[in-house]
Amino acid sequence: MAAAIGVIDYGMGNLHSLGKALERVSSSTRVVISYDPEELLACDRIVLPGVGGVRECMNELRRLELNEMVVEAARTKPMLGICLGMQVMLEWSDENEGVPALGLFPGKVQRFPEPPADAPERLKVPHMGWNQVKQSRPHPIWAGVPDESWFYFVHSYYAKPVNPDHVLGTSEYTHEFAAAIARDNIVAFQFHPEKSQNLGMMLLANFSHWAP
Amino acid sequence: MLAKRIIPCLDIDRGRVVKGVKFEDIQDAGDPVEVARKYDYQGADELVFLDITASHEDRPTLFHTVEQVAREIYIPLTVGGGVRSCADVRALLSAGADKVSINTAAVERPELVTEAGSRYGVQCIVVAIDAKRVNKKKEPLRWEVFTHGGRRATGLDAIEWAAKMVKYGAGELLVTSMDRDGTKAGYDNELLKAISDAVSVPLIASGGVGTLEHLYQGFSVGCADAVLAASIFHQGTHTVGEAKAYLENKGIRVRR
């Protein structure tokens, strides 16, 4: 049976482009978009995408009985978090008056500061558009991706992992923040590889071959 | 640091890219996938599709177009035109749009912006504002919001409306000057600056680009976060790459 990448579909946002992008970069791999925990656990690797608010995301993961599946998969399979899918991997998010999250990485998620009205250049929130990612350390996921490449971001909250060793890449917006985190068999991006042209495709391709 | 964005805008009519001046003299300008691919190759940071198809019965054609483009192009795609309800937003997002722009329907029912934002995330809700100068000479500047493709006055002050839409959950604003649209005289930078000062979300400038200097002024004078342009790219006057080289040379940070 062909290898399979499971994309967790908890009903929020557009998985169309992510699914197409994964199919494109890994022709020998099946892409399974599903909310069925068993079907997902049968896949070789797991992607946790996400847009929208963290409270609704956690509610939906629990309602669909996916949260235990994610924690289980995080122990055993290569796993990729994207955007909100990365943020829920921390322990806590300040969004929506504060929400406990999955706790796969120690640390929390907090909001970018509002720009002071007299700032010389007002930085808007959300942080939306293309920004450069500085690679904090070597990792197989970066294979073929030049340091300080551009990726597409759209978010108002950012992750603050406690352990500096978990930071895989950083970007600058009001201050330096974690744009990518990783440990063991888990890697997660705050930006959207599926919206980031060729280099985004390369990250997805690297994930589809990654053997942690 | 974050780059300023260059966004080609494509008018879509019954599944084809068209060009015309202010909805008149419309000519076929190609297949959306081909045109989108060209701009992607040139380094466009995002694409905007504006559906101008008159008949609502042709809606499935738009969804098909969005699907085809989303399958091939891996940069963000915003789709607007005729979005009336949360169901419309969902249909476009599931066809592959990354953001949906809402214009007339937001004026008729502002709660739509809140509902769509809380359901699909504010980052995918763009509120489009068509504004026109209405002050008399020597009076302070004032702009009014127009809907229905610029045909209907609303009585709403554009700056107040922009701030209200952000409060209602708009993740981004697309501001078109009706005075400048189609004139190639440059953006209405006073309008852009006034709105940029009033809101905290990203602002896309639209309406009036004729030269690369106009793009620069949209950033430097209008304080926009992104600039939208149609004819200078469609008519082949400039490529997106040329626009970026020009802006970079002037000290604007762009993705290269």
Closest CA to A110 of A128, A86, A88, A93: A93
Prediction ipTM score? 0.92
- Interface contact B76-A152, CB threshold 8 A: yes
**Closest CA relative to residue A151, chosen from B75, B78, B6:** B75
User: For A179-205, how does the pLDDT look when each residue is reduced to its tens digit (9 = 90+)?
Assistant: 999 999 999 999 999 999 999 999 999
Which site among A124, A151, A173, A190 would you substitute to test the B interface, given the most B Cβ atoms closer than 10 Å to its Cβ?
Answer: A124
Q: Does B241 touch chain A (CB under 8 A)?
A: no
**What pLDDT, on the 0 to 100 scale, is given for residue B20?**
62
User: CA-CA distance, A7 to B164, in Å (whole number)?
Assistant: 37
Question: How much is the pLDDT for B236?
Answer: 86
Sort strands A157-161 and A107-111 into parallel, antiparallel or unpaired: antiparallel
The single residue of B13, B51, B88, B130 carrying the catalytic annotation is B130
Highest-confidence segment of A47-51, A56-60, A139-143, A155-159: A139-143
What is the average per-residue pLDDT within A59-63? 93
Please report residues of A whose CB lies closer than 8 A to that of B122. 126, 156
- Residue A1: per-residue pLDDT: 57
Q: State residue A117's pLDDT score.
A: 64
In chain A, what are the domain boundaries?
A: 4-209
Chain-chain contact of B121 with A172 (C-beta, under 8 angstroms)? no
Please tell me which residue of chain A has the smallest CA distance to B43.
A197
Q: Does B124 touch chain A (CB under 8 A)?
A: yes
Which chain A residue has its CA at the smallest distance from B41's CA?
A: A197
Please write down the long-range contacts of A90-94, taking CB distance under 8 Å and 24 or more positions apart.
A90/A159, A90/A160, A90/A161, A93/A54, A93/A157, A94/A157
The pLDDT score that the predictor gives to residue A120 is 65
Percentage of residues in chain B having pLDDT higher than 70: 97
Average pLDDT over residues B212-222: 97
Q: Show contacts of A178-183: CB within 8 Å, 24+ apart.
A: A179/A131, A179/A133, A179/A151, A179/A153, A180/A133, A180/A136, A180/A141, A181/A86, A181/A89, A181/A105, A182/A139, A182/A141, A183/A105
What is the rounded average pLDDT of the residues B246-252? 97
Q: What pLDDT, on the 0 to 100 scale, is given for residue B250?
A: 97
Question: A155 CA to chain B: closest CA distance, Å?
Answer: 7
Q: pLDDT value at position A28?
A: 84
Predicted confidence (pLDDT) at residue A168 exceeds the cutoff of 60 = yes
Pairwise CB contact (< 8 Å): B2 & A194: no
The pair of three-digit structure tokens given for residue A179, joined into one six-digit string: 């744009």
* Res. B189 pLDDT band, cuts 50 70 90: very high
Distance CA A74, CA A80 (A): 9
Q: What is the pLDDT of residues B106-156, one digit of tens each?
A: 999 999 999 998 888 888 899 999 999 999 999 999 999 999 888 899 999
- Is the model's pLDDT at B162 over the cut of 90? yes
Tokens, residue B189:
């930078």
Q: Which among B96, B124, B200 is the nearest to A16, CB-wise?
A: B96
- If you write DSSP's letter for every residue of chain B in order, what string do you get? -PPPEEEEEEEEETTEEEEEETTEEEEEEE-HHHHHHHHHHHT-S-EEEEE--S-GGGHHHHHHHHHHHHHH--S-EEEESS--SHHHHHHHHHHT-SEEEE-HHHHH-THHHHHHHHHH-GGGEEEEEEEEE-PPTTSPP-EEEEETTTTEEEEEEHHHHHHHHHHTT-SEEEEEETTTTTT-S---HHHHHHHHHH-SS-EEEES---SHHHHHHHHHTT--SEEEESHHHHTTS--HHHHHHHHHHTT-----
Which pLDDT does position A17 carry in this prediction?
A: 80
The pLDDT value recorded for residue B19 is 76
Q: Is the pLDDT of residue A37 over 90?
A: yes
Q: Is A93 helix (H, G, I), strand (E, B) or coil?
A: strand
Is residue A2 pLDDT above 90, yes or no? no
Taking CA–CA distances from A115, the nearest residue in chain B reads B200
Tell me what pLDDT residue B22 has.
54
Contact B5 A130 (CB under 8 A): yes
Q: How far is B63 from chain A (nearest CA, A)?
A: 13
Q: What is the mean pLDDT of residues B150-179?
A: 95
Q: How many CB atoms sit inside 10 A of residue B67's CB?
A: 15
Chain A contact present for B188, CB below 8 A: no
Mean pLDDT of chain A: 92
Q: Name the residue of chain B whose CA is nearest to A53's CA.
A: B121
Q: Does B119 lie at the interface with A, CB-CB under 8 angstroms?
A: yes
**Which of B40, B98, B99 is the best residue to mutate to test the A interface, defined by the most A CB atoms within 10 Å of its own CB?**
B98
Average pLDDT over residues B154-181: 96
Assess whether B130 carries a catalytic annotation: yes
The CATH class for the domain spanning A4-209 reads: alpha beta
The rounded mean pLDDT for chain B is 92
The mean-pLDDT minimum among A87-96, A111-120, A162-171, B20-29 falls in B20-29
The four Cα atoms B16, B19, B23, B24 give a dihedral, to 10 degrees, of -110
Q: Would the pTM of this model clear 0.90, i.e. be above it? A: yes
Which of A73-82, A101-110, A184-193, B86-95 has the lowest average pLDDT?
A: B86-95
Distance from CA of A23 to the nearest CA of B (A): 10
